[in-house]
Amino acid sequence: MNERAGIRASDGFMRKSASLVIALAALGAALLLMPFIDDETTRAEEEPAVSENVQLVRDFVAAFNAQDVDRIMSFWGPEPVYHNMPGPPVEGTEAVRKLIESFVTPAGSVDWEILHIAESGNTVLAERVDRFVLGGKEVVLPCNGAFDIVDGKIAEWRDYFDMATWQKQMQ
């Protein structure tokens, strides 16, 4: 009987030991994974929500990439001003549409990439690389755009780029 009792006692000890080992292994795995879990949680908390104005500019650029002039025009306010800084500003809906059509409509493709985007007050600044296929040639134009947003619409867009870079590629 004592022998049986001894076996039973050691079986219970073995079961408790095995449970303890499993629990410790699970705790160890959890502790090893915590830095990754914390990093993901921290990153999600640190990434600021995208403002409506920044999203508006991103959607505006997407409309250019789709070469959808009507959609592009839907982002503008009632009295738009579009100023390619090497030239004079263009004012009014029809004049802005005509200028946009002059380079979007004939393009075989348009691919504008936003490299950086930031905002200050109601102005969104977007550093971009604009790519076009025009007349069978690829044109790549680094530029910076400043978008003044009023009541959820673009009131004024100023684009800064080197005209010589554009002209050299269009030859």
Show me where the domains of the chain are located: 1-47, 52-170
pLDDT in tens, 118-138: 999 999 999 999 999 988 899
- Helix ranges (H only) for 47-92 are 52-65, 69-73
pLDDT tens for 6-53 read 555 555 555 555 554 554 455 455 545 555 544 554 444 566 688 999
The alpha carbon torsion through 71, 107, 98, 83 (nearest 10 deg) reads 90
Neighbours of 80 (CB within 10 A): 21
Query: What whole-number percentage of the chain has pLDDT above 90?
Result: 63
Do β-strands 76-84 and 90-91 pair in parallel, antiparallel, or remain unpaired?
antiparallel
Tell the burial category of 130 from Cβ atoms under 10 Å away from its Cβ (0-12, 13-18, 19+): buried
| For residue 60, pLDDT beyond 90 | yes
Give 145 or 2, the one with higher predicted confidence.
145
Asked whether the beta carbons of 145 and 64 are under 8 A apart, the reply is no
Question: What confidence score (pLDDT) does residue 12 get?
Answer: 59
20 or 105: which leads in pLDDT? 105
Determine the average pLDDT of the residues in 83-111.
Answer: 95
Contacts of 159 (CB under 8 A, 6+ apart): 82, 83, 84, 85, 143, 144, 145, 146
State the average pLDDT over residues 66-75.
98
Q: CA angle, 141 as apex, 138 and 144 as ends, to 5°?
A: 155
Nearest to 146 by CA among 77, 57, 75: 57
CATH code assigned to 52-170: 3.10.450.50
pTM: 0.71
